[in-house]
Every structure is written in C-alpha cells, then in structure tokens.
Amino acid sequence: MKNLTMQLSAVVLVVFALVTGPAVAGNYGKAEMDIVDTAVAAGQFETLVAAVKAAGLVDTLKGEGPFTVFAPTDEAFAKLPAGTVEALLKDKEKLAAILTYHVVAGKVMAKDVAGLNKATTVQGSDLKINTDKGVMVNDAMVIKADVTASNGVIHIIDTVLIPQ
C-alpha cells in the first residue's frame, strides 16, 4: 500500500510538472498566461497573489504590459518579521507601494540586465542591480530568471523588496 501511495504521489507530481512546467520553466515564445495566472500556476507565490488581490492590482498585472516583476516566493515572505504580512494586508496604500516596487515597466529579460546598475520601478524608486555574483536586486537574489508570461516576464527572488 505504501508503494502504491508513493507511485501515485510520483504520478501526481509528474502531471503537475507537465501542466505547470511551462509557466514555471519559462514558456519561451509561447506564453499564454498573463503574469497573475503564471504566478498562480507556479504554486510558490500564494502570499504574493493574495497581496496583489488585497492591493487591488490584479487587473493592472493582467493588463497589456509589458511588465517585469521581481516576484518574491512564499519563503521570501516568511522571512519577514512576524505579523508584517498581516499588517500590510490591512494597509492597502502601503501594500500597493511595496508591490509596485517589485514591478518595472517593460520586458527586461536576464540578458538585458548585464549592462544595468539600476531599474526604475512603477512605484517610482530605483532598484539597485548588481551582477557580480549572480543577479542581485537590492538585497534579493534572483533565483530563477525569465519566466515568461503573455504580458511580460517574472524573475523569482528570495527576499521581499521594501522601498526606503
């Protein structure tokens, strides 16, 4: 019975990878889902998606774009001090400012970042970019780049960006 359970789990994981793989791996040239749907399908951005909904930014990020989103994972949000996410979800204005600090207008692929040392966010502040050891955006490491969507690109980061 345990073997059957493990086999079924493996089958479920393979099916999940086949269904969501293009969204997570980068559906190069064939992106059919927008940024929000891509984030939902990836399964590692539940906090980010909830925050986008709470801030009223779903329609914007489903819009034409193109957008470049530096998307913190659920693990990145978990690194914030206890109660931070809950407090932000109640403060729509501050939440929107933090979320738009993760978005750059236009589609900036990883290959385009090599010559940049900063990028201006939709929020209005600049992000520092450092490519000395991988790609750092402020204090966040890009852990996966170039996840394409129909209206832009997502770069997955390991830390939530907070505007100063």
Residue 147 has φ and ψ, to the nearest 5°, of: -85, 105
d(CA 164, CA 162): 6
Res 21: pLDDT: 40
What average pLDDT does range 17-38 have in this prediction? Answer: 58
Q: What is the pLDDT of residues 79-128, one digit of tens each?
A: 999 999 999 999 999 999 999 999 999 999 999 887 789 999 999 999 99
Res 133: pLDDT: 86
Most distant CA atoms of the chain, gap in Å: 57
d(CA 3, CA 90): 46
CB within 8 A of 79, min separation 6: which ones? 159, 160
Q: Give yes or no for residue 4 having a pLDDT over 70.
A: no
Question: β-strands 140-149, 136-137: how paired?
Answer: antiparallel
pTM of the full structure: 0.80
Supply the DSSP symbol for 83: T
Total H helices, total E strands in the chain: 8, 7
Q: What is the pLDDT of residues 126-153, one digit of tens each?
A: 999 999 888 999 999 999 999 999 999 9
What average pLDDT does range 28-54 have in this prediction? Answer: 88
What average pLDDT does range 160-164 have in this prediction? Answer: 93
Q: Which domains does the chain have, with CATH numbers?
A: 2-157 (2.30.180.10)
Enumerate long-range contacts of 8-12, CB under 8 Å, 24 or more apart.
Answer: none
Contact 130, 45 (CB under 8 A): no
Q: Give yes or no for residue 34 having a pLDDT over 80.
A: yes
**Residue 114 or 160, more confident:** 160
> 33, 97, 94, 35: which is closest to 61 by C-alpha?
35
Pair of tokens at residue 137 = 């955006």
Res 91: pLDDT: 95
pLDDT band (50, 70, 90) for residue 5: very low
Pair of tokens at residue 88 = 């932000």
d(CA 6, CA 13): 11
pLDDT band (50, 70, 90) for residue 31: low
Q: What is the pLDDT of residues 9-27, one digit of tens each?
A: 222 222 233 333 444 444 4
